[in-house]
Amino acid sequence: MTKAKLGWVALLPGQDGLIRINLPADAKQATFDLPARLQFGRELHPVLPFDIEAWRSRVGEYTDGDIKLVVTMNPDSGLAEPFPFYVDLDHDAVVPLTPIAADRLLSEQGEEITFTADGELRIAIEGAEATLRRAEVPVEEEVSFLVSGEATVVAGTLLRPAGEGPFPAAVLVHGSSFHQRDFYRMWAHALVRAGVAALIFDRQGHGASTGEVAETLQDRAAGVEAAMNFLKEHKAVSEVGLWGISNGMWTVPLVAARRPDVAFVAGVSAPGVTAAESEAHRRGTALRQGGVSAEAAGIAEKIWRLLAEVSQTGDASPSQVRKLEPLLKKLRADKTVKAYTPPGYAKTSPKLSPMPPSGSAAEVAKAHAGTPDPSVGYDPANSYREISCPVLLQYGTDDPNLPAAESEKRIRDALTDGGNENFTITSYPNAGHLLERVPSEVDGMTHEEASYGLHGLRFASGAVSEFISWFEARKPS
């Protein structure tokens, strides 16, 4: 490849991991001071651009009988640049990788990984080395299906346990910013371990799927129902349930409430509030983590709630503009706001920025007007009251993206009100939006930014094993 180098990377001594020095793509030269622990001649490697298409053939599970690694990637731009990573479910670890050659990568925890010409994976650290080969399980099948009433063809991969089945199966439903199938392998492979087939797919308009991008809640629900309908006709499938994460857990209860054939509902970080309230929480938390005062972050949350009202109706009323004016003025006068540096993803995905946009109150309101989006005000608690199948929900108590405690309570109350007592809801202390232990060792970025790049990610103790155990307990005796 002829693209510019993206920076330099070096392994640190022992188990200390990796240091990466990022440079602008057009940088001609740069000077920098190395940490004291690098002053012994460690080799700096140029970082190569991540070749997504070449990586696709390497995605999958590898094992030597003892070690089991799920090699995969985030191919989407937005919250983070595309990058490869591996998942070690036995040790609750998700580890980003940095390419330094076509067949060679360095892991964030200090390992050197090489892919051989015959498809083996060699992983080495401080003289110890293991050779892993493609695992026979999961059994993978490339599939496609049509979205009802559209010419949209959705492309996916069905991962199955060994044997002919039939198996219970789950449709894995996307969060808001990771649109393609391979990111969700960290949960799909765990499902297969529990004896459940898992369908991962590229959302409409992304990856290998055709059609318009599924922007609305109803569009996303149509894709999920098409996936369900496909699985119900598959000879290796006995029943179909739904699993989702984050924003996907607005889609899941919507579909489950109107389809009695949903066998189970499971999810991570399921909102129990409207999208408007959840987004106000996420943005306010991101501002506080970025050094903005609690008072100013609270003002920003009020602004985002007002703008959500505009988005919901599609129209900015004079009274809404009048409410916005003093709030924007007070926010912009705050010293901590003036010193605030937006996260990197705010440049690539400005709609997700924690800080309200610049411009007059009328201009800001107008930018959020247009086609009405009623899904902004959709309350998932109403759907949970209609769900009668078994439910598993997992939360992190320190989730920066949604009010976890309030969501848990509202969903628990809704299920109980609807007469469904067959649910398990678990919260993991000191865990975030991906059920990751809140990192203390990642410097130079907020918890939110670290989680988007999967930096230092270790799942909360018990989160993976309890997920697998819940599904194993549902197997026929």
Rounded to an integer, what distance in angstroms lies between the CA atom of residue 403 and that of residue 426? 15
Among 72-76, 132-136, 390-394, 435-439, the least confident range: 435-439
Quickly state the pLDDT bin for 54 (edges 50, 70, 90).
Answer: very high
| pLDDT attached to residue 271 | 98
The pLDDT assigned to 5 comes to 38
Per the CB < 8 A criterion, the answer to whether 244 and 270 are in contact is: yes
User: Distance between CA atoms of 106 and 96, rounded to whole angstroms?
Assistant: 9
Amino acid at 236: A
**Residues 263 and 239: beta-carbon distance below 8 Å:** yes
Residue 12: helix, strand or coil by DSSP? coil
266/423 Cα distance (integer angstroms): 10
Provide φ and ψ at 223, rounded to 5°.
-65, -40
Interval 381-436: pLDDT, tens: 999 999 999 999 999 999 999 999 999 999 999 999 999 999 999 999 999 999 99
CA 344 to chain centre: 17
CA distance 114 to 122: 5
End-to-end CA distance of the chain, in Å? 54
Nearest of 452, 80, 446, 433 to residue 287 by alpha carbon: 446
- Would you say 467 and 392 are in contact if contact means Cβ atoms under 8 Å apart? yes
Domain ranges of the chain: 7-134, 139-273+379-473, 276-372
4 pLDDT above the threshold of 50: no
Q: What is the 3-state secondary structure (H, E, C) of 448-473?
A: HHHHHCCCCEEECCCHHHHHHHHHHH
Q: Quick one: tokens of 418?
A: 């609807």
What is the pTM assigned to this prediction? 0.91
Are the beta carbons of 246 and 401 closer than 8 angstroms? Answer: yes
What is the pLDDT, as a whole number, of residue 438? 80
Pick the CATH number of 139-273+379-473 from 2.30.40.10, 3.40.50.1820, 3.40.1010.20, 3.40.50.150: 3.40.50.1820
**Amino acid 47: pLDDT:** 84
- From the list 30, 22, 16, the residue with the least C-alpha distance to 46 is 22
Query: Smallest Cα–Cα separation from 350: which of 368, 332, 327?
Result: 368
**Residue 22 binned pLDDT confidence (cut-offs 50, 70, 90):** low
Task: Report pLDDT for 363.
Answer: 97
Residue 463 has a pLDDT of 98
DSSP summary character for residue 436: B
The single-letter code of the amino acid at 285 is T
- Give the DSSP H or E segment for 362: helix 361-367
Tokens describing residue 279:
């987004």
CA-closest candidate to residue 65, choices 135, 161, 160, 139: 135
Lowest-confidence pick of 71-85, 87-101, 223-237: 71-85
- Residue spans of beta strands (DSSP E) within 108-236: 112-115, 121-125, 128-134, 139-146, 153-160, 167-173, 197-201
What is the pLDDT at residue 151?
87
Parallel, antiparallel, or unpaired for β 68-74 and 128-134?
unpaired
The residue among 109 and 23 whose pLDDT is bigger is 109
Encoded amino acid at 82, one letter: P
> Residue 329 CB: number of other CB atoms within 10 A?
11
- Reference 17, options 125, 160, 153, 163; nearest CA is 125
* 294, burial (CB in 10 Å: exposed 0-12, middle 13-18, buried 19+): exposed
At residue 447, the pLDDT reads: 79
Per-residue pLDDT of 363-372, as tens digits, reads 999 999 999 9
CA–CA gap between residue 228 and residue 209 (Å, rounded) = 16
Q: CA of 306: how far to CAs of 75, 222, 283, 297, 408, in Å?
A: 34, 29, 14, 14, 25
Residue 467's nearest CA partner among 434, 426, 422 is: 426
Q: Between β-strands 237-245 and 262-268, what pairing exists: parallel, antiparallel or unpaired? A: parallel
Mean pLDDT of 303-307: 97
Cα 132 to its chain centre, rounded Å, is: 27
Pairing outcome for strands 139-146 and 197-201:
unpaired
pLDDT digits (tens, 9 = 90+) for 444-465: 677 788 888 898 899 999 999 9
